[in-house]
Structure 1
Amino acid sequence: MEVFVMEENLIAPCGMNCSLCVHYQMMKDDLKKQGFNRKYCPGCIPRGENCTHFGDACELLKNGRVRFCYECTAFPCKRLKGLDKRYRTKYHMSMIENLKVIQKNGIAAFLKSEAERWSCPKCGNPICCHNGLCLHCDLETLRKNKRYRWNEEETN
């Protein structure tokens, strides 16, 4: 089984790994053709927005003066802390931790560890951070419950 390769341009300035996002994965596999009506997103950097979440409020991001939020003297700002709390609580991911790992170990090491951490044990494709499912192996689970989120026993 082959582990998927993470792309640097899919790591948003806020630390979001866009390749794990349900909207990116739905787009990548064009799941609207299979009856899923979700908004598609190619990721912040590929769609030409430095940061979808904070670009409107952060001059550094809006103008592309930083690649990652950790380059800012206000890191982590209030908005990033709020987003991070929501993602840690609901989605098993911390943007702030992601950024700290990138800052300490570099982007290549981060991409490698993310690929290992988020690979489906059955097929090697990425697991979706928003629901804990592999959209290749577990599509039926999502089809039965379109609002599916991580198993209860995994969130406690």
Structure 2
Amino acid sequence: MEEKLIAPCGMNCGVCVNHLAMVNDIRKQGFRRKYCPGCLPRGENCTFMKDSCDLLGKGLVRFCTECPDYPCRRLKALDKRYRTKYHMSMLENLECIREHGMEAFLEKEEEKWRCPGCGGTISCHNGLCLHCDLDKLRRKQTYRWDD
């Protein structure tokens, strides 16, 4: 996991299905997936929050925890959706970074999302390793956790 893949909202872009699709270059294996290098690497301060937050949109804060309105209504809603659907919490990520530092957070994430089969990375969006589980994805292109 890389620090540059942690978005200001707390999203770990390193476990995003579109980032992992790019890393594993699954188009070469017949998949039609959007590729994404991550919010910060592509010059987007935060895809989720930039339109509703001037501080993020202008790149004035590194993390939402630096904002006087933290956690705002929009971040709480985003966090609820991700906790419910994708087995991750932006707010927990941000709190872990604030309390334990980036290095400890990245180590925790590395362990949490490590594929037991190949040691690669599991996607938060579908629970699949795009190295080991491509057959599941091939059978059901819109695969979600436990489908």
Which range, TM-score by smaller chain?
over 0.9
Match of 2:139 among 144, 149, 156: 144
Q: 1:73-84 maps to which residues of 2 (within 5 A)?
A: 73-84=68-79
Amino acid at match of 1:21: C
Q: 1:16 aligns with which of 11, 35, 45?
A: 11
Which one-letter code corresponds to 1:61 in the other structure? L
> How far off is 1:56 after superposition?
1.5
1:3-152 to structure 2, matched below 5 A, reads 6-151=1-146
Question: What is the DSSP-based 3-state SS (H/G/I as helix, E as strand, rest coil) of the residue aligned with 2:43?
Answer: coil
Please report how far the alpha carbon of residue 35 of structure 1 lies from its aligned counterpart in structure 2 after TM superposition: 1.5
Query: Which runs of at least 4 in structure 1 moved beyond 3 Å after TM superposition?
Result: none
Deviations 1:71-106 (A, max 9, x none): 111111111111111100001000010000001000
- Unpaired segments ≥5 residues, structure 2: none
Distance in 2 of aligned mates of 1:134 and 1:32: 15
Amino acid at match of 1:100: E
Match of 1:3 in 2: none
Any stretches of 5+ residues in structure 1 without a counterpart?
1-5
- Residue deviations 1:113-146 (CA, integer Å, cap 9, x gap): 0001110011111101001011111110111011
**What's the TM-score, normalizing by structure 2?**
0.97
Q: CA offset at residue 151 of structure 1? A: 1.1
* CA–CA separation in structure 2 for the residues paired with 1:79 and 1:36: 32
Once the two structures are aligned, what percentage of the paired residues are identical? 65
1:34 Cα shift? 1.2
Structure 1 CA distance for aligned equivalents of residues 126 and 20 of structure 2: 12
Amino acid in structure 2 at the alignment position of 1:36:
F
Give TM-score scaled by structure 1 length: 0.91
Q: What is the deviation of 1:33? A: 1.6
